[in-house]
Amino acid sequence: MPATPLRLAVFDCDGTLVDSQHSIIACMAAAFAAAGLAAPAAEAVRRVVGLPLATSVARLCPALGAGECARVAELYKQAFTDLRRGDAIDEPLFPGVVDLLDALEGEGVVLGIATGKGRRGLRITLEHHGLAGRFVTLQTADDAPGKPHPEMLRRAMAETGADAATTAMIGDTTYDILMALNAGTAAIGVSWGYHPPEELRAAGAHAVVAAAHEVRPAWLRVAGARLARGTPWYAGSSGSSSA
């Protein structure tokens, strides 16, 4: 057994590292209005955070064709650009995130991100919070199929030399959990984001935590159990939960 079963921690961004719901809801409402459509409900928008943008639009308005979804997605990007110009982006870090990153890096864990954000938007967010140099691998919807497809996680592991046994996906939505299970990694759900804990557990999360400082011990528990068992992750497994 290696000295530590923790090698690569891949984080979702929106709803996991930063609370961006207010900006996302505002921009989605602006995009729908510009397209002559009724704004979707805030809760409906929170449900699709983490998916590629055009997919999110399609979920919010199933009657739209692919071309119309792409148009609304572009209007959303313009709305976000307008918010940035006005210095009105509202996406604070969740409590304890920086301390968690410090603790993981302190024991040699490599950090990554897998997000439905575009690469430009992700870099702006990380720079705003002084996190641009913290993550070794950045996987976005610009580079690979969106969640829950496992390609972003597979690319992150390939770029960092990690394997599934020592990798965890940490996220707030069922899309994050399913991506992790599809890639064969640990799936750690966080309860402070946009999908409720019971849905994360039902999706197959190996653990669900209620605070950032609980991520590392939860991951140690589920990784250690897997190594002791000598079997791969499977969708029906579940870890201890504090949420």
Distance of CA 5 to the CA centre of its chain: 22
Q: Is the pLDDT of residue 135 over 80?
A: yes
**Structural domain containing residue 209:** 8-19+93-229
The conformation of residue 88, written as its DSSP 8-state character, comes to: -
The pLDDT value recorded for residue 231 is: 56
12 is annotated as an active-site residue: yes
CA 21 to chain CA mean position, Å:
13
Domain shared by 69 and 107, yes or no: no
Check whether 233 has a pLDDT greater than 80.
Answer: no
- CATH number of the CATH domain containing 190: 3.40.50.1000
Q: State whether 125 and 52 are in the same domain.
A: no
User: pTM score, two decimals?
Assistant: 0.90
Higher pLDDT, 236 or 91: 91
Q: Do the bridges between strand 137-139 and strand 167-171 make them parallel or antiparallel, or are there none, so unpaired?
A: unpaired
Using the predicted structure, report yes or no on whether residue 242 has a pLDDT greater than 60: no
In this structure, is residue 179 part of a structural domain? yes
**Per-residue pLDDT for 11 more than 50?**
yes
Which position among 14, 19, 172, 176 bears the catalytic label?
14
Report the pLDDT value the prediction gives residue 225, as an integer from 0 to 100.
Answer: 80
Q: Is 71 found in the same domain as 152? A: no
Inter-residue long-range contacts of 94-99, CB under 8 Å, 24+ positions, other chains counted = 94/16, 94/17, 94/18, 94/19, 94/192, 94/212, 95/211, 95/212, 96/211, 96/212, 96/213, 97/17, 97/212, 98/131, 99/212, 99/213
Does residue 102 carry a catalytic annotation?
no
Active-site residue, from 12, 19, 172, 176 = 12
Interatomic CA distance for residues 113 and 122, integer angstroms: 9
